[in-house]
Amino acid sequence: MRREFKLPDVGEGLTEAEIVRWHVKEGDAVKVNQIVVEIETAKSIVELPIPWDGVVGGLMAEEGQTVDVGAPIIAVDTAEEGGAPTQAAPSQAVPTQAAPSQAVGGAPVDDMVPRPPVEGAVEPGVHGSPAPKEERQAVLVGYGVKTSATKRRPRKSRPTGQPPASQAPAVQPAAVRSAIVEPVVADPVPAQRGVPARVAALAKPPVRKLARDLGVDLTTLTGTGPHGSITRDDVHAAAGSAQPAAPAGEATATSWTAARGPREERIPVKGVRKMTAQAMVASAFTAPHVTEFLQVDVTETMAAVRRLRELPDFADVKVSPLLLVAKAVLVAARRHPMINSSWDEQAQEIVVKHYVNLGIAAATPRGLVVPNVKDAHELPLPELAGRLTALAETARAGRAQPADMAGGTFTITNVGVFGIDAGTPILNPGESAILAFGQVRDMPWVVDGELAVRKVTTLALSFDHRIVDGELGSLFLRDVGQMLEDPLRMLAWS
């Protein structure tokens, strides 16, 4: 029996995900709970297990494709009760030339697996894939989609050597003809004069524009993309191998591209980066931000870090200045609870949280993520160090789960690791404050009336001015700074 595994909602209300990598291929045997695919949601990369034993009947989504939640992504042929999984050839599993009456009253497998359509037709929205012979027409919402019995009349004139209208691929509606991949056909006039027409080429609109800009004839290229479509690389390769000689002293965009590569690059905004962009825009234009800065002598903190590294309790964890910054934030949040709160717009209330889910911003190749340590205020220092280390490693590997990034109450962003002194961080949505920790460097500093070289850093605190006024923000930042100047204050104020 063929079963289709549909993309689940692995987060909180997520609507789509991108297929990152398949772990199986058609014909592979799979077991219950075997990981078959990695997907990227708007929050993280997630591995999905299959819920059945059987044989992979087909992959219904390609790597790099964005799929809506609830859409089938893989078909599995499972064993019926008392039987064994069977793997049928594609021509046996699905009849290729079934009549419309057979599509309704045929075997159950015909109802569950779509038939391969007429060869050469184009499925709406799919790059060069086949489509059903019948045209699909949009009808009223809630009443499904019906197939049309009308046929387009043949053209009055057609190039010689081409099949008649009854044998040509079904013509798609206008909405389909403007799909992602469109054919580029040479002028049929030569064929009318007895010269064979050139072969049509499949190319996306941006690729066709790039070809026009570079002066490349798409009909002379052989595509290397899906279903023979022409890609940007194909166009660049053709432009680089056959560049016309430019006049002396005249620099053209084409010659520049051939020598140095493309002048522009377009990166799709999706997944984590898309979610981050939406969150930052919502935060920046919802909460009135205020940022305060404080330079701190952290010489004693750096000495304390070196001593902690020598203790047996910290032998298996990473001890960095960020650990003591996190501890100082937790202590200061207990002294000033309003800093650890959120604004409830609907209820018109301020929600003060007497717990701290401490978020640490982490830069990953797929975008910025902010996983958080749950109930960080209750953890002893060695356990806090271990949790921070594990959180950072998981986030950088792209394995942070949506639950790891939900429910944060306060965030620290360590811009110092990039050699930055300070900045104006944007609030993580739902939080009232965020602290930026700058690089620690040697600076001249006045100590007991004398000039000395000390370890100095800059702290930048951004806060929501609807909740945190200037006095509260200043008191909180001052307390964090004093604890970093003298780490013993953490013990005194804990």
The residues that are catalytic are: 465
Torsion over CA of 208, 209, 211 and 212, rounded to 10 degrees? Answer: 120
Q: What type of residue sits at position 205?
A: P
Residue 96 neighbours by CB distance under 10 Å: 11
Q: List, as one string, the DSSP characters of 235-292.
A: HHHHHHHSPPPPPTT---HHHHHHHH--S-------HHHHHHHHHHHHHHTTS-EEEE
Quote the tokens at residue 177.
């003809």
d(CA 182, CA 189): 21
Count H helices and E strands in the chain, helices first. 15, 23
Q: What type of residue sits at position 180?
A: I
Instruction: Return the bridge partners of 202, or none.
Output: 183
Q: What type of residue sits at position 406?
A: A
d(CA 19, CA 37): 7
Contact criterion met (CB below 8 Å) for 78 and 1: yes
Where is 330: in which H helix or E strand?
helix 321-335
Strands 2-6, 72-77: parallel, antiparallel or unpaired by DSSP?
Answer: antiparallel
d(CA 339, CA 432): 6
Q: What type of residue sits at position 141?
A: V
Strands 433-437, 450-464: parallel, antiparallel or unpaired by DSSP?
Answer: antiparallel
d(CA 451, CA 462): 31
DSSP E strands: which ranges in 158-218? 182-184, 201-203
d(CA 175, CA 90): 30
**Best CA proximity match to 173, nearest among 152, 194, 192:** 152
d(CA 438, CA 418): 9
First to last CA, the chain: 63
